[in-house]
C-alpha cells in the first residue's frame, strides 16, 4: 500500500463481507424452504422475502466490493490520494445504512411492492443509493482527473458511471407491464452483462498488472479488446430478455445473435489472465489472490458464458424460460464473475492494507475450493432439475406443482451444496479477518528442497 | 514496475507494440476487433436465416420472389466501385498525394450515399407491398440483416468523413478496412437473400 486513503477500502470490504454472510445464510434458508416448506412460519419468513434478501444482499455487497476496489486501486493508478476521504466515509454511511434498513424493512414486510426483482427497495432507499453514487462518482472522478489517467482507471470509471446512470431507470415504473419490463432490464441486464463486466475487467487487469509484472502496454491492449467485445455483444444482447414480454418478434433474432456472442469477452478474459500469468513468470507470494483471479475468469466463462449460451437462443428459451436452468445459470454466473473478482481483489489487497505478509493463504485457498465446489455442484444439480422440469412441464404439459414434486431430490442435493458454500464463505471471512502467526501449512522453498 | 523480470517465452516474434497478431494488419488493431465482431454477427444471422429457411422453404421462396433483384445487382456494383475508390484513396495517401486521396475517398463515400438511396427506394416498395419487419418469416430476417447492413453503410460514411478530416495514412487504412468489410459483407448477403433458392 502506498497511499493513506487506500485504507478507505477496508470499511467498504468489512461491510461487504458482513452482507455477503447475510446473503448466503438467506440462500441457505431459501434452499431449506424448497425442501421443508413448513419449517419456518410462513407469515414470519415467507419465501418471497427470503428470496428478496438473498438477491438484494448479493447486489449490495458486490457494489460495496466494487466501491472498495475503486478506492483501493484508483490512488495507485492515479498516483495521488483520494480527493476527499471524508466524503468516501459519508458515502459508505449512507449506502450501508440504506442497505441494512432495506433488509430489516423486508423482514417486516416493508418494500416497494411492484413485482420488480432486485428493485424492491422503498423509494427513499433508492434515492439514498443515488445520492451515495453521486458522491462516489464525484470523489473518484476528481481523483482521476487530477491524477495520472490509465486505461484501467478509464475503464473502471466508464463502468461505474454506467452503473449509476442505468440505476436511474429503477425510478421509472410505467403501468404497461411490457414497457415496465423493457426498462427493468436496462438496470438488470445492462448492469451484469454490460457495465459490471467493465468493472470486472479493469479489476482483473489491475491484479494482473501487479501480480505478473507484465508490461502495462500489453495489459491495456487486452483490456481494450475485452471492453470492445463486451459492449458490442452485451448492449444489443439485452434483446434476449425481450423474447416473450410483449416486445416485437424481431427481438428474437437480435437477442439470439448478439447474446450468443456474449461468451466472447468472457473467453477473452480467460485467455487474458492465463496468458499474463504465463508470460509474467513473476513468482508473486500471494498465491491465494492469483487463484481467485484465475478462478474468476474460468468460472465466469462457464457460468456467464457457457451456461448463458445454453438457454439464450430464442428457440431454446421458448421451452426453458423461467425454469431451474435459469437458476443454475444465475448462481454460477454471479459467483464466477462478480463474487470471485471481489474476493480476488480482497485477497490481494488485505495483506497490503493490514501490512502483513500474505497470511492465511492455505485457509483462503481452501475456502476457494469449498465455495467453488458448492456452487458448481449446485449449478449442475439445478441444471439437471431444469432439464427435467423443461421436459415434464413444457414438453409433456404436466402442471407446475406436480413437476415440482418430482424435482424434490435435486432440491435436497442443492441444499447440501448450499451448506458447503456457506461453510466456505465463513472460512473465507475468517481467513481474511483473523490474523495468524504462520500459515496452516508451512510453504517449502524450492531452493531448500533436497536434490535427487 | 520491474520490467527486467519479464521474459517473453511464449513466442519467438518480438511483440513490439503489444498488439500481438493484430499488429501486422493495416490500420488500427481495434478496428480489426470490430471487423471480426461484425463478421461473427452477420455470419450468425445468415446461419439463422439458413435454419429458418430449412424450416419453411416454400414460404421463404415465395417471399423472396417479391425482392427487386435488379436493385440488388445495382447496389452490388455501386458498393464494389466504392470499395475500389477507397483502395485507390489509401494508395494515393500512402504516396503522399493528399488531394487525390481526398477526392477518391469522397467519391467512395458518395457512392455509399447512392447505395442508401437505392436501398430506401427498395424498402419503400417492400413496405408498399405490405411487408415490414414484423411480417415474420423471410421478411423479418431480410429487414434485420439488410437494415443492420445499411446502418453500417451509414456508420462507414461517417467514418470516411472523419478520415477526410484527420487524414493520416494510418487513418486512411483504418477507415478503408471498415469500408471494405461493409462491401464484402454485402457480397455475401446479396446472393444469400436475393438469389439463392
Mean confidence (pLDDT) of chain B:
91
Q: Is B140 on the interface with A (CB under 8 A)?
A: yes
- The alpha-carbon radius of gyration of chain A (Å, integer) is 22
Q: How far apart are the C-alpha atoms of A310 and A332, rounded to whole Å?
A: 13
C-alpha neighbours within 13 Å on the C-beta side of residue A23: 21
Q: Is residue A56 part of a domain?
A: yes
* B194: nearest Cα among B75, B68, B76: B68
Looking at the fold, whether A37 and A122 belong to one and the same domain comes out as: yes
Q: Which of A215, A264, A282 sits opposite B18 (nearest CB)?
A: A215
- Check CB contact under 8 Å for B29 and A221: yes
**CB-based contacts of B143, cutoff 8 Å, min separation 6:** A250, B126, B132, B133
The CATH code that applies to domain B27-195 is: 1.20.120.80
Of residues B51 and A445, more confidence is placed in B51
pLDDT reported for residue B6: 41
Q: Taking 70 as the threshold, does the pLDDT of residue B153 lie above it?
A: yes
- CB atoms closer than 10 angstroms to residue B49: 20
Banded model confidence at residue B12, pLDDT cuts 50, 70, 90: very low
> A257, B10: Cβ pair inside 8 Å?
no
Same domain, A278 and A410: no
Which residue from A229, A232, A249 is facing B140, i.e. has the nearest CB? A249
Is A269 a domain residue? yes
CA distance B52 to B126: 20
Same domain, A278 and A320: no
A247 and A376 together in one domain: no
- Which span out of A33-42, B7-16, B185-194 was modeled with the highest average pLDDT? B185-194
Q: C-alpha A96: how far from its chain's center?
A: 18
User: Helix, strand, or coil here: A393?
Assistant: helix
Cβ within 8 Å of residue B50, ≥6 positions away: none
Residue that finishes a domain, picked among A227, A253, A284: A284
Q: Which of A284, A318, A349 is the last residue of a domain?
A: A284
Q: Which of A218, A251, A284 is the last residue of a domain?
A: A284
Residue in chain B lying closest to A224 (CA): B30
Is residue A419 predicted with pLDDT exceeding 80?
A: yes
Which cell is B103 given? 477526392
Domain that holds residue A217: 154-284
Q: In terms of CA atoms, which chain B residue is nearest residue A275?
A: B10
- Residue pair A9/A72 in contact (Cβ under 8 Å)? The answer is yes
In a domain, A175, yes or no: yes
Q: Is residue A122 part of a domain?
A: yes
Copy the grid coordinates of residue A288. Answer: 491465494
The ipTM assigned to this model is 0.86
Cell reading at B155? 456508420
- Counting other chains too, the contacts that B160-165 makes at CB distance below 8 Å and 24 or more residues apart are B160/B86, B160/B105, B160/B108, B160/B109, B160/B112, B161/B109, B163/B105, B164/B102, B164/B105, B164/B106, B164/B109
| Residue A311 shares a structural domain with residue A374 | yes
Q: What is the mean pLDDT of residues A430-447?
A: 76
| Chain segment B106-149, per-residue pLDDT in tens | 999 999 999 999 999 999 999 999 999 988 899 999 999 999 99
Quick check: B4 pLDDT over 50?
no
Same-domain check for residues A260 and A218: yes
pLDDT value at A290 more than 50 = yes
Q: Is the pLDDT of residue A150 over 90?
A: yes
Identify whether A442 is part of a domain. no
Residues A95 and A164 in one domain: no
Candidate from B30, B40, B140 with C-beta closest to A253: B140
What is the C-alpha to C-alpha distance for residues B181 and B25, in angstroms, rounded to an integer? 14
The count of domains in chain A is 3
Closest of A4, A3, A8, A7 to residue A136, by C-alpha: A8
Q: With an 8 Å Cβ cutoff, are B136 and A249 in contact?
A: yes
Examine the domain organization and report whether A6 and A139 are in the same domain: yes
> Predicted confidence band at B5 (pLDDT cuts at 50, 70, 90)?
very low
**Residue A446 — pLDDT band, cuts 50, 70, 90?**
low
pLDDT given for residue A445 in this prediction: 58
Q: In whole angstroms, what is the distance from residue B140 CA to residue B138 CA?
A: 6
A280, pLDDT greater than 90: no
Contacts of residue A275 in chain B, CB cutoff 8 Å? 10
Give the torsion through C-alpha atoms of A71, A188, A158, A161, to 10 deg.
-70
Residue B7 confidence (pLDDT): 40
Judged by a CB distance cut-off of 8 A, whether residue B39 touches chain A is no
The CATH number linked to A116 is: 1.20.120
Please state the domain extents for chain B: 27-195
| pLDDT(A437) > 80 | no
Return the pLDDT at A2: 86
Residues A322 and A255 in one domain: no
Nearest CB to B19 within list A215, A221, A249 = A221
Residue A44 has pLDDT above 70, yes or no: yes
Tally: H helices and E strands in chain B: 6, 0
In this structure, the answer to whether residues A16 and A101 fall within a common structural domain is yes
Amino acid at each position: 500500500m502506498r497511499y493513506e486513503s487506500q485504507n478507505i477500502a477496508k470499511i467498504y470490504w468489512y461491510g461487504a463481507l458482513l452482507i455477503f454472510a447475510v446473503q448466503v445464510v438467506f440462500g441457505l434458508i431459501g434452499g431449506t424452504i424448497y425442501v421443508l416448506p413448513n419449517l419456518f412460519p410462513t407469515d414470519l419468513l415467507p419465501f418471497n422475502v427470503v428470496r428478496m434478501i438473498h438477491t438484494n444482499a448479493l447486489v449490495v455487497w458486490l457494489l460495496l466490493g466494487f466501491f472498495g476496489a475503486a478506492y483501493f486501486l484508483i490512488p495507485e493508478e492515479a498516483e495521488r490520494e483520494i480527493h476527499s476521504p471524508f466524503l468516501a466515509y459519508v458515502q459508505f454511511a449512507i449506502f450501508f445504512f440504506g442497505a441494512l434498513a432495506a433488509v430489516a424493512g423486508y423482514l417486516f414486510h416493508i418494500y416497494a411492492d411492484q413485482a420488480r426483482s432486485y428493485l424492491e427497495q422503498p423509494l427513499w432507499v433508492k434515492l439514498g443509493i443515488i445520492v451515495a453514487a453521486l458522491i462516489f462518482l464525484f470523489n473518484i472522478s476528481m481523483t482521476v482527473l487530477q491524477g495520472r489517467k490509465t486505461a484501467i482507471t478509464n475503464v473502471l470509471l466508464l463502468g461505474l458511471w454506467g452503473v449509476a446512470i442505468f440505476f436511474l431507470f429503477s425510478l421509472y415504473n410505467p403501468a404497461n407491464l411490457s414497457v415496465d419490463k423493457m426498462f427493468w432490464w436496462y438496470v438488470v441486464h445492462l448492469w451484469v452483462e454490460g457495465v459490471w463486466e467493465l468493472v470486472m475487467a479493469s479489476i482483473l487487469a489491475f491484479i494482473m498488472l501487479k501480480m505478473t509484472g507484465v508490461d502495462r502496454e500489453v495489459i491495456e491492449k487486452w483490456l481494450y479488446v475485452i471492453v470492445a467485445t463486451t459492449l458490442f455483444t452485451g448492449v444489443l444482447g439485452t434483446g434476449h430478455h425481450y423474447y416473450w414480454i410483449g416486445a416485437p418478434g424481431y427481438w428474437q433474432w437480435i437477442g439470439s445473435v448478439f447474446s450468443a456472442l456474449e461468451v466472447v469477452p468472457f473467453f477473452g478474459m480467460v485467455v487474458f489472465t492465463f496468458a499474463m500469468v504465463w508470460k509474467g513468470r513473476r513468482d508473486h507470494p500471494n498465491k491465494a489472490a492469483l487463484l481467485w483471479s484465475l478462478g474468476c475468469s474460468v468460472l465466469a466463462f462457464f457460468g456467464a458464458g457457457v451456461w448463458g449460451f445454453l438457454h439464450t437462443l430464442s428457440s431454446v428459451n421458448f421451452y426453458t424460460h423461467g425454469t431451474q436452468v435459469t437458476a443454475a445459470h444465475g448462481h454460477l454466473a454471479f459467483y464466477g464473475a462478480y463474487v470471485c473478482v471481489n474476493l480476488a481483489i480482497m485477497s490481494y489487497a488485505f495483506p497490503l492494507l493490514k501490512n502483513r505478509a500474505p497470511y492465511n493463504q492455505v485457509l483462503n485457498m481452501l475456502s476457494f475450493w469449498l465455495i467453488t465446489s458448492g456452487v458448481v455442484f449446485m449449478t449442475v444439480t439445478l441444471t439437471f432439475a431444469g432439464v427435467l422440469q423443461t421436459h415434464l412441464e413444457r414438453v409433456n404439459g404436466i402442471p407446475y406443482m406436480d413437476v415440482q414434486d418430482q424435482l424434490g431430490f435435486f432440491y435436497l442435493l442443492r441444499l447440501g451444496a448450499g451448506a458447503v458454500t456457506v461453510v466456505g464463505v465463513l472460512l473465507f471471512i475468517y481467513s481474511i479477518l483473523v490474523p495468524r502467526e504462520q500459515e496452516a501449512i508451512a510453504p517449502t522453498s524450492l531452493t531448500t528442497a533436497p536434490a535427487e | 514496475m520491474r520490467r527486467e523480470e519479464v521474459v517473453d517465452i511464449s513466442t519467438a516474434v518480438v511483440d513490439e507494440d503489444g498488439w500481438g497478431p493484430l499488429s501486422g494488419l493495416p490500420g488500427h488493431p481495434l478496428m480489426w476487433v470490430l471487423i471480426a465482431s461484425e463478421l461473427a454477427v452477420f455470419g450468425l444471422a445468415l446461419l439463422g436465416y439458413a435454419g429458418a429457411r430449412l424450416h419453411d422453404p416454400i414460404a421463404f421462396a415465395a417471399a423472396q420472389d417479391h425482392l427487386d433483384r435488379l436493385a440488388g445487382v445495382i447496389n452490388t456494383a455501386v458498393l464494389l466501385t466504392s470499395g475500389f475508390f477507397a483502395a485507390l484513396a489509401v494508395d494515393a495517401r500512402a504516396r503522399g498525394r493528399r488531394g487525390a486521396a481526398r477526392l477518391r475517398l469522397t467519391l467512395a463515400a458518395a457512392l455509399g450515399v447512392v447505395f442508401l438511396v437505392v436501398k430506401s427506394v427498395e424498402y419503400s416498395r417492400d413496405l408498399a407491398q405490405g411487408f415490414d419487419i414484423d411480417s415474420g418469416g423471410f421478411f423479418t430476417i431480410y429487414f434485420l440483416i439488410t437494415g443492420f447492413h445499411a446502418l453500417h453503410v451509414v456508420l462507414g460514411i461517417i467514418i470516411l468523413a472523419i478520415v477526410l478530416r484527420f487524414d493520416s495514412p494510418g487513418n486512411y487504412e483504418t477507415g478503408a478496412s471498415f469500408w471494405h468489410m461493409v462491401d464484402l459483407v454485402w457480397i455475401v448477403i446479396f446472393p444469400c437473400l436475393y438469389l439463392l433458392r
